Amino acid sequence: EVQLVESGGGLVKPGGSLRLSCAGSGFDVSPNAMNWVRQAPGKGLEWVASISSSSSYLYYAPSVKGRFTISRDNAKNLVYLQMNSLGAEDAAVYYCARQEREYASPVVPFDMWGQGTMVTVSS
């Protein structure tokens, strides 16, 4: 089955770090811009970060800029989200989502989403 599979979520203390991974299963993610989107419990969707296919272009939401880093390893068919200085406001289900274009273009929707991985921030 063609899908995106996230992993790496879990419980982390405030101020801690976590690295999430997103794997393409059954297809190659290398041609695609990839995104991370999060959803706090009972809340709406919030775009977090995007990365172009060659990693040349990186974009971040203001709420995570300077703390989170998006990256990818096309040889391993993986996309990552390194999250540092985590706070309670970062607790959410984190989804990775694909765009069927090389760059994170406004005209291209997020056409495939993973099932999400939960991040809990608590002491």
Partner 1 sequence: QSVLTQPPSVSGAPGHRVTISCTGSSSNIGAGYDVHWYQQLPGTAPKLLIFRNINRPSWVPDRFSASKSDTSASLAISDLQADDEADYYCQSYDKSLSGSLFGGGTRLTVL
Q: By the criterion CB under 8 A, which residues form the site for partner 1?
A: 35, 37, 44-47, 49-50, 59-62, 95, 104, 106-107, 109-111, 113-116
CB of 33 to partner 1, least distance (A): 11
Cβ-based nearer residue to partner 1, 47 or 120: 47
Question: Which residue is associated with the tokens 């273009």?
Answer: 105
User: Where are the extended beta strands (E) located within the chain?
Assistant: 3-7, 10-12, 18-25, 33-39, 45-51, 58-60, 68-73, 78-83, 92-99, 110-113, 117-121
Cβ-based nearer residue to partner 1, 61 or 91: 61
Cβ-based nearer residue to partner 1, 3 or 17: 3
Provide the token pair at 34. Answer: 């990839």
